[in-house]
Chains A and B, each alone.
Chain A
Amino acid sequence: MNGTTTCVEAVHYYLEQIEANRHLNAFVEVFSAEAVESARYLDNLRSREGMTGKLHGVVIGIKDVISFKGHKLSASSRILEGFTAIYNASAVQYLLDEGAIIIGRQNCDEFAMGSSNENSAYGNVLNAADTSRVPGGSSGGSAVAVQAGLCMVSLGSDTGGSVRQPADFCGILGLKPSYGRISRYGLIAYASSFDQIGIFGINVDDIARVLEVMSGADEFDSTVNDAPVPSAAALNKPDEGIYKLAYFKESLEHPGLDPEIKASFEAFVKRLTAEGHTVEAVDFELLDYVVPTYYILTTAEASSNLSRYDGVKFGHRSGTAGDDLSVFYKQNRSEGFGKEVKRRIMLGTFVLSAGYYDAYYTKAQQVRQLLSQKTQAIFSQYNAILSPTVPSPAFRFGEKSNDPIEMFLADIYTVFANLVGIPGISLPLFKHSNGMPFGMQVMTSQMDEVTLLRLSKRLMHVNGAE
């Protein structure tokens, strides 16, 4: 992102890389001709007027859950087979307005549900660091595209860790902004009160520039927060500050935590302390509740959000439906949705059902409320919360796919930020003895991406990575 080559050269470079890495299965569709054409247009524009857009020539891939007008949009699901988006997501529009080039749409878990990218109608995405291992999910294709250098930046979506977890598995940076930071208009909904578009990159500055462009109030999404947009320029000022940081005692005591990850985390904390920062363990007795709370609330919302995929107006329609309306719906949806999506629709329908509603949905809402209060209390005393991003490094294909609970529990450190709406980032700071990279997660208070990104830059330097 330094502007020394032409856009056409850059696009050709990435198209070659994509071609050479087809086996990773990161992209489900590459917009080759269109990307070259945009690049040519931008080069001409540059020769006439200079670089006008904030993202002039930045080559970006988008997860296949983000609407790009005139292009197919499938959420990696059979149910949207053949569906073409007829409008631009607000975030995509903002990127295009600033001269970004969208090079293709990226593979993911169906409807963004999954932690390994094993739930895609387009097949698995391979981790470029070890192709026998998963890239993480649900934004697996987007993470691998950045990891393998197939584009400069990717957009993913993060409902419970779907950007941070694959960033951790792939050894890159992955940001989930605050809830309400980026318009969700045009992002296929999984769980509306959790979803955010997230950004994958190889350094903090790239992420900050893309974040700035996509952020801010939007007339199509009334849940966007009107707080000031985090300026990428804020990161240029030298940061000499001393930070007060917290981590949850229970996070490190968690039985599922890989001992090597725990040791790396503790060693890192020591180095931070040595540099003069304060790092303290705080009690967080609610940790065991975050995964159940997350799965109750997200599946409840998903069961409703996915009702529109019924085969009436668009998407897959069964050839064998017959005359009965309820058979028609059942056939369309049974054939169109994959196993994990069906599991979550059923779970969500169950927790909202009369007779179970209070025990599950209402209770989970109360826990979410408690978590928010607790979080505010912590941020009244600390600048940020640190934690491992994932309890274990990237696993092998098939290793967890028969045990949904074990898969769900891998989200223990990431779902928290979505439950309370705060921003979180995974920083690629560590390497496991098995050769796989893994990261550390940093979270700040809601709408404080500036502190998050400034601190991230500092932490990257602590490890000498940036």
Chain B
Amino acid sequence: MSHISDKYEAVIGLEVHAQLATHSKLFCGDATTFGAAPNTQVSPITLGHPGTLPKTNKKAVEYAIKMGLACNCEIEQYNYFARKNYFYPDLPKGYQVSQHTTPICKGGYVTIKTGEETRNVQLNRIHLEEDAGKSIHDIDDQFTCVDYNRAGVPLIEIVTEPDLHSADEAYQYVTEVRRLVRWLNVCDGNMEEGSLRCDANVSIRLKGETKLGTKVEVKNLNSIRNVKKAIEYEIERMIALVEAGGTVKQQTRSFDAGNDTTFAIRDKEEANDYRYFAEPDLAPFHLSDTLISGIRESLPALPVALLAKYQTELGLSEYDAAQLCAEKETAHYYNQVLQHTQLYKAAANFINGPVKQYLNENKLGFEQFTVSPTQLAALLQLVEDGKVNFSVASSRILPAMIAAPEQDALQIATDMNLLQVSDTSELEQWVNIALESMPDKVTEYKKGKKGLIGLFVGEVKKLSKGKADPKLVTTLIQEKLK
């Protein structure tokens, strides 16, 4: 079925701002704690008092390089900051210190997966800049209030080329960027608190056209869902507009999450001339090869690499591998467990299954999981050796280990009397009791209803409180009823 929208192709570029998780601001020592009382993290430098000067936070530079290397960017070795000049009450100095012609990271890409397809979204740049303060319009009837705590917090702006073509791709891209910043510990990725913010540049053109259409910039997208909804709305709006004979105006628009629509906030003619020039208060800085290669070596294995490794080297399914790589903490824990066992699949199943379930139910993160990777590997070995079964391991032993992380798995299983019994004489007693309790079923079995074996094994399991090794029990029963 052909649809009007099939005539058009959407072209989308995203600008993601990520607040860096440094303890102090980009150009001074003020704290960056989220949620502090208004204007308590403001030195004269943050407030732009006369005579104050910036001084670059090295950690922020390092974090920007980390993200750049993780996104396959080229790192600019000769760096300087630039002033972006405009007036706004939440901008204390009347200019924002940013980077203009020489971003610290150039080019690069982020790999995303949409459906079955994997592709690299091309980046234009990643640059460093300072955040502005926050204007608050709704706590006073008469005045706008400004909180400068956020002013000067380091940001990286990750800018794609116009290389995305659907709301879904944009959704995947932002998800991936959020995973990366969290993976690298450079940003907490919290969109609700504004640590991660996204602006979308959207345009449409007829399929086959190579020239870009007139773009609209949509601002204030404070969740990944909103990124998707805003782009969907914009594409539809533009197509309808063009189909009705209109033309798209270059505009800045804002997203209204209340009804999933966008509205214009200003036209191109009102655009600022930012009068960028090199920030004279900061000397240019050079990043040495040693510094960059040191940071490269310190990078953790990245999700894309781990995903491939888990599938090709460890033989995990794509689904299991993806589950493990969804968050850095999970993959990190899994990697540690692998140091102590070769039961790759069993470990993946156990972590993706009972462990995650426990953490989710208790709203905990992996960093709060008390069972050590060594202990978990030992528990998996007990299952593998038939000493406990999977269900006992997950429902009984795991909670006991969480409660007493200092004890080892075997000890707990023994103390709780949960080790499977493989002593045939003991098993035989349970088998006998079970078979004697249901003579009718035994007769039916003997007549050929072999499926009843499950019932007998189940009964033995019940009698043994789960300790009977089901494989042995099955063999025993089969022999007995021959």
Contacts and interface: CB of A to CB of B under 8 A. Distances in A.
Interface of A: 65-67, 73, 75, 80, 83, 85-87, 89, 184-189, 191-193, 219-223, 300-301, 303-304, 306-308, 310, 312-314, 325-326, 329, 349, 352-354, 357, 361
Interface in B63-119: 83, 85, 87, 89, 92-95
A300 B94 contact: no
Most chain B C-beta atoms within 10 Å of own C-beta, residue among A191, A312, A353: A312
B412 interface: no
B233 interface: no
A87 B46 CA distance: 13
B50 A310 contact: no
Contact of B283 (A83, A222, A326, A354): A222
A186 B281 contact: no
A189 B273 contact: no
Interface of B: 44, 47-56, 83, 85, 87, 89, 92-95, 146, 273, 275, 277, 280-283
Given A188-B50, A308-B50, 7 more contacts: A80-B50, A85-B50, A86-B44, A222-B55, A310-B94, A349-B275, A354-B275
A353 B273 contact: yes
Most chain B C-beta atoms within 10 Å of own C-beta, residue among A75, A187, A304: A304
Contacts of B85: 303-304, 307, 352
Nearest to A329: B87
Nearest to B142: A323
B16 to A, nearest CB: 26
Contacts of B47: 313-314
Contacts of A313: 47-48, 92
Prevailing SS type, chain B contact patch: loop
Nearest to A311: B89
B87 A223 contact: no
Contacts, number: 98
Contacts of B55: 219-222
Nearest to A74: B50
Nearest to B276: A352
12 contacts: A67-B49, A85-B51, A186-B51, A188-B51, A189-B51, A189-B281, A301-B280, A308-B93, A313-B48, A325-B89, A349-B275, A352-B277
B99 to A, nearest CB: 16
A226 to B, nearest CB: 11
B89 A312 contact: yes
Nearest to A221: B53
B281 to A, nearest CB: 5
Contacts of B281: 184, 189, 192, 222-223
Given A307-B95, A352-B275, A314 B283 contact: no
Contact of A67 (B51, B56, B89, B94): B51
Nearest to A191: B280
Contacts of A191: 280
Contact of B49 (A66, A87, A304, A352): A87
A75 B280 contact: no
A232 to B, nearest CB: 26
